[in-house]
Amino acid sequence: MAANALAAPLGVLSSVLLGLNTLFWCTPLFLLSLVKLLLPFQAARQAIDPWLNRIAKSWIACNSAWIALINRAPWDVQGLEQLKPGGWYMVNCNHQSWVDIFVLQKIFNRRIPFLKFFLKQELIWVPVIGVAWWALDFPFMRRHGKAALRKNPALRHQDMETTKRSCARFALAPTSVMNFAEGTRFTADKHQRQESPYRHLLKPKSGALALAVNILGEKFRALLDVTLVYPDGVPTYWDLACGRVGRVIVRVHERDIPAEFVQGDCIEDSVLRKRFGAWLQALWEEKDREIDALQAAACQGARCR
């Protein structure tokens, strides 16, 4: 009872501290970004971008310390031992909650280059954070419905060119390109509407990953295929702020990207694009089985929600 009574005040305090931490680190981030905007030369970008990434890593380190302080349930993380902070990585993970982003940032911070997420265009308008994502060169993607694309097919190419320009900047310094292949958070309703063939996953979308491989394929050290499980129930941000996330299980698999995708054109070559989609689906089938096994193991002798 006492713990429940303290949850709300802790959640408010945590959110205030998270906001203050964000404002603290975003101040120098925005100032350096303004300099980069006023000096749009590659030499200036190459000098400023490492400092922007250092600020972002410090920001994440403070967030991670806060998470560890108030969420005391154990984290079971495997697969980080061979990672290199100086190489390019493509990172893919199943997606269940906004908490996923905090988890991924915490486990990967300073082990691999700073994670750059593919984001919906609308998220640029999120106060403070949206500008920070823009300053850090996160790729913003527009998502048009099938009806809009049928009416105006040129929209597909416009969006692709915008994303290509964003990804091309990543070639200047080691970067980890992060993508949630499902494109949205998993819910039972979405799973049913999709008629997904997987027990724990939505159908994967290969477009963003294929585009990243097209542009940066030869630079990528590997694909980091991440499986994320919350055996005590999928937490919300408020659960995180209140210190009640429960156990977290993460498995990181470092996989080679097939040479045919690196050397070919997965966007324009329809045959190769289908093979890329089939490769991703095979990874998804394996991930679905892994989630089954991890949940079963976690629930042995424990009460899982």
State residue 43's pLDDT score: 83
CA angle (154, 269, 175) in 5-degree steps: 85
State residue 164's pLDDT score: 72
CA angle (21, 98, 245) in 5-degree steps: 85
Residue 172: is its pLDDT beyond 90?
no
Number of helical H runs and strand E runs in the chain: 11, 8
Residue 1: is its pLDDT beyond 50?
no
Residues above pLDDT 90, as percent of the chain: 52
Dmax (CA) for the chain in angstroms is 61
Q: Which amino acid is at 166?
A: S
State residue 2's pLDDT score: 45
| Helix (H) or strand (E) run with residue 254 in it | strand 248-255
State residue 144's pLDDT score: 60
State residue 139's pLDDT score: 77
CATH topology of domain 2-299: Glycerol-3-phosphate (1)-acyltransferase (3.40.1130)
State the pLDDT confidence band at 303, using cuts at 50, 70 and 90: low
Whole-angstrom CA distances from 234 to 41, 139, 218, 248, 283 are 44, 27, 36, 10, 22
State the pLDDT confidence band at 57, using cuts at 50, 70 and 90: very high
Average pLDDT, the chain: 87
State the average pLDDT over residues 286-304: 85
Q: How far apart are CA 168 and CA 18, in angstroms?
A: 32
Give bridge partners of residue 76 from the DSSP assignment.
249
| pLDDT tens digits for range 4-29 | 667 788 889 999 999 999 999 999 99
State the average pLDDT over residues 140-155: 66
Q: Are 45 and 36 in contact (CB under 8 A)?
A: yes
What SS3 class is residue 109? strand
End-to-end CA separation in angstroms for the chain: 20
pTM score, two decimals? 0.88
| pLDDT tens digits for range 188-226 | 999 999 999 999 999 999 888 888 888 887 888 899 999
